[in-house]
């Protein structure tokens, strides 16, 4: 497979923080980066060579964009897959649009995992206008109802714990296709970032343990504080999923770890992942550089962990009382701050992150919590 060498142009669909960090990694390796994003003045466009603003469904604009790029990738899994079929003959599309189509719809993703015998929670599908109550009883209570399309950060989800809550769930999701999943009383959540190149080389980053608040990632802890067998199972599943789906690029795989030590696949994201941001400061190769290497056919980088580390998301809530106290972070020699250049801070919006390194994961987490508490203005 011919390599796409530095000096060529990488196209990125999506203009958020993942595209921004990808563009920065690509520029360090000598590539040009063009961003395609519907909204103007996006975070990724601010650090790219060119920013194109047009709807994803604008086939003419998408085609013109593709003609300028030697390879096109994604930073956002909810780019509509259908328009991408128009450009797959113009440029290399990595991952392939079919990977995007599978993973951006919860029902298709669950079916794909089931058909390929990957472990996951019990689930049922209910079509738009279907009998939600029957689906809930098929899966059993408690369970979680999720919209089938375009969900992330807990959006479009509702936990149903008792029979009394079924009518409200039926009303909330009326007319929408949904997936109903068994509620897993898990011990913890972990994730693995896997990269695969066009020649089928695979690298899996060390497994992260993830703590969420209000369905949004709060802390990622590396190495994950789980049994070695659990980490090995998560890494093996990520490798097998990447091979089976024919990934070229980077994918985040999220898991539930049950109290008996079973590892269940929760979600797939065919892009760099929030829980992999620690790789920028504590790994031989960042997930963003690895994405560049994978889609361009370069040798994949080493995924050696350099230090125990915790990544902390900075949400718009930190601006509630004015500008956050950045000095509380920047004064620490073991902290690295990354801000995404977003113009408006809103509650729940990811505005940046910071990482804390320490001698072990528990100490890194203790310090991360302390620094997080000091941050708001």
Residue 22: domain span: 9-93
Long-range pairs of 204-210 with CB within 8 A, sequence gap ≥ 24: 204/235, 204/238, 204/239, 204/303, 205/276, 205/279, 205/283, 205/287, 205/290, 205/303, 206/231, 206/283, 206/303, 206/305, 207/231, 207/234, 207/235, 208/275, 208/276, 208/278, 208/311, 209/361, 210/254, 210/275
Residue 314, both tokens: 């900075």
Residue 176 and residue 195 share a domain? no
Q: Domain holding 87: CATH number?
A: 3.40.50.20
Whole-model pTM: value is 0.96
Gap between the terminal Cα atoms of the chain: 52
pLDDT of residue 261: 96
Q: Domain holding 170: CATH number?
A: 3.30.1490.20
Residue 193 and residue 149 share a domain? no
DSSP string of 258-273? Answer: -TTS-EEEEEEESS--
Mean pLDDT of 299-306: 98
Q: Domain holding 318: CATH number?
A: 3.30.470.20
Domains identified in the chain, total number: 3
Angstrom distance (rounded) from CA 335 to CA 348? 22
pLDDT band at 366 (very low <50, low <70, confident <90, very high): very high
Residue 249 and residue 159 share a domain? no
pLDDT band at 155 (very low <50, low <70, confident <90, very high): low
Q: Look at residues 13, 2, 68 and name the one whose alpha carbon lies nearest to residue 39.
A: 13
| β-bridge pairing 263-269 and 249-257 | antiparallel
Mean pLDDT of 195-222: 97
pLDDT of residue 153: 58
Residue range 47-81, pLDDT digits in tens: 999 999 999 999 999 999 999 999 999 998 889 99
pLDDT of residue 133: 87
């Amino acid at each position: 497979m011919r390599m796409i060498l530095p000096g060529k142009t990488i196209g990125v669909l999506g203009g958020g923080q993942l595209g921004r960090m990808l563009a920065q990694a690509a520029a360090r390796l000598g590539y040009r980066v063009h961003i395609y994003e519907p909204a103007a003045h996006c975070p990724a466009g601010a650090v790219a060579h060119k920013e194109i603003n047009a709807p994803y469904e604008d086939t003419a604009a998408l085609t013109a964009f593709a003609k300028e790029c030697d390879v096109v990738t994604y930073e956002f899994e909810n780019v509509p897959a259908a328009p991408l079929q128009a450009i797959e003959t113009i440029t290399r599309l990595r991952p392939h649009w079919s990977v995007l189509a599978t993973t951006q719809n919860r029902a298709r993703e669950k079916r794909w995992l089931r058909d390929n015998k990957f472990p996951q929670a019990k689930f049922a599908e209910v079509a738009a206008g279907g009998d939600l109550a029957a689906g809930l009883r098929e899966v059993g209570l408690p369970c979680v109802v999720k919209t089938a399309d375009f969900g992330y950060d807990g959006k479009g989800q509702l936990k149903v714990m008792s029979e009394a809550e079924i009518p409200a769930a039926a009303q909330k999701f009326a007319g929408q296709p949904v997936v109903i999943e068994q509620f897993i009383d898990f011990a913890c959540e972990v994730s693995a970032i896997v990269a695969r190149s066009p020649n089928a080389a695979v690298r899996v980053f060390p497994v992260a343990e993830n703590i969420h608040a209000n369905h949004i990632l709060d802390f990622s802890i590396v190495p994950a504080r789980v049994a070695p067998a659990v980490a090995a199972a998560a890494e093996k599943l990520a490798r097998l999923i990447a091979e089976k789906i024919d990934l070229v690029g980077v994918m985040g795989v999220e898991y539930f770890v049950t109290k008996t030590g079973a590892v269940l696949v929760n979600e797939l994201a065919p892009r760099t992942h929030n829980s992999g941001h620690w790789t920028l400061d504590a790994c031989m190769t960042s997930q963003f550089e690895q994405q560049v290497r994978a889609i361009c056919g370069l040798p994949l980088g080493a995924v050696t962990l350099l230090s125990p580390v915790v990544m902390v998301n900075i949400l718009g809530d930190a601006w509630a009382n004015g500008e956050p106290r950045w000095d509380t972070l920047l004064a620490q020699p073991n902290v690295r701050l990354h801000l995404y250049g977003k113009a408006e801070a809103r509650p729940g919006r990811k505005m940046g992150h910071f990482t804390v390194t320490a001698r072990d994961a528990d100490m890194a987490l203790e310090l991360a919590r302390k620094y997080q508490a000091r941050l708001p203005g």
